Amino acid sequence: MSERGGAQMEQVEIRFRIDEGDDEGEALRSLYRHLYRDGDLERTTKVELQEAPPEEGAMGGAWETVNILLTHATALSSLAVSVAAWRQSRRSSPPLSAESNGTTVTVRTDDPEAVRRLLEALNSSHDSNSDDSGDSSEG
């Protein structure tokens, strides 16, 4: 069941980056496609794939980030479930850095609740920068 109207929130932008093990941005493109196609995120989230500036002599830049703009409070939980599902669907999931408002967390788990707590930490106004790994024994 969903509440009509639901809780409103200030728009929140989260940038996902994969800093290691992402040959030619394949994992980042896969994450983008997964989030873009997620019906639960469709009305409450804007998903964009952002390209890094090209290196000198290159035809184009590498994929740098997946930008998420959350416009509704329930979108954070849906985003966490979707990110966890994406991580579960991959044989090998590299650590996923998520940054918002100068705070960065690193997601290394596919547990939806752990991912939700990590993403919520991004929006906490009294937390300082953290590198919480979200490691889980089921990992």
Amino acid making up residue 127: D
Number of helices followed by number of strands (H, E) in the chain: 3, 5
In this structure, are residues 118 and 105 in contact, taking their beta carbons and an 8 Å threshold? Answer: yes
pLDDT of 62 reads: 57
Average pLDDT of every residue of the chain: 77
In the chain, alpha helices (H): 26-37, 74-89, 112-122
In this structure, are residues 109 and 84 in contact, taking their beta carbons and an 8 Å threshold? Answer: yes
- 3-state SS, residue 51: strand
- In which residue ranges of the chain is pLDDT below 50? 1-6, 125-139
CA gap 41, 139 in Å, rounded: 24
pLDDT in tens, 104-129: 999 999 999 999 998 888 877 434 44
The residue among 67, 63, 133 whose CA lies nearest residue 96 is 133
pLDDT of 35 reads: 94
CA gap 12, 63 in Å, rounded: 21
pLDDT of 127 reads: 42
pLDDT of 56 reads: 61
pLDDT of 71 reads: 81
**Pairing state of beta strands 96-100 and 63-70?**
unpaired
- 3-state SS, residue 48: strand
CA gap 45, 30 in Å, rounded: 17
pTM of the model: 0.74
Token output for 43: 């009305």
